[in-house]
Amino acid sequence: RCHPYLVREMEAAGNENIAVAEEEFDRALSGHISYFVFNFMRAFGYGITGSHLADSPVKGRAGQYYQRLSQLSAAFAVVSDITLMILGGAFKRKEKLSGRFADALSYMFYASAVLKKYEDDGCPRADLPLLEWSAKYCLDQVQIALDEILRNYPVKSLGLVLRWTVFPLGMSLRQPNDSVGHRVASLLLKPGEVRDRLTKGIFVSSDPDD
């Protein structure tokens, strides 16, 4: 539904005015092809350079996560587009496959929310462990979901080609390590500005016996 061209192609295909339908479909298909080729080049270019070619609105540690998110977003766009092309309406019946796409999309959304909160809070240096743990965890989950899609791809040979395209350097993302986890735990256990920012808006009882 959110695809920039797919809905327009389907609407054009259902238009009873043949002349108008052909013109609208050709325009939408041309845009779709350009969109796919652009994402294909982005996915491979970002993948082969470890996302260093990707733009970022900020510098520093947070900027690296924006770049990684761009890389995975391009990979998601390529894999989902190809999947829709080869499966069509049958995609909805492939529940494990569609579920993994949903996992990837959800964790990209979570990663976006993590980065936005960090920016909205003014990029406090003390919150970096929270940003690092959350962003790394979410991005790794996206990578895992895409890997499971490609390992169980309906057309095995195409799955191998797609894997080489979107993960040319292999699965390079990693879960947050224990050191980051320990720093996050220590921030959450003690009262302070970091914990107050994280729990803003959450009800906290004033009853000492609660």
Of 18-22, 114-118, 166-170, least confident by mean pLDDT is 18-22
pTM: 0.85
Q: What per-residue confidence (pLDDT) applies to 5?
A: 76
30, 9 contact by CB (below 8 A):
no
Contact predicate 97/167, CB 8 Å: no
* Buried-exposed string 120-154: b where 16+ CB fall within 10 A, e elsewhere: ebeeeeebbbbbbbbbbbbbbbbbbbbbbbbeebe
Q: What pLDDT, on the 0 to 100 scale, is given for residue 111?
A: 97
Q: Mean pLDDT throughout 4-31?
A: 81
Q: Cα(80)–Cα(35) distance, rounded to whole angstroms?
A: 13
pLDDT digits 0-9 by tens, 75-113: 999 998 888 888 877 777 788 888 999 999 999 999 999
Q: Which pLDDT band holds residue 201 (cuts at 50, 70, 90)?
A: confident
For 159, list phi and psi in degrees, rounded to 5: -60, -40
Higher pLDDT, residue 69 or 11: 69
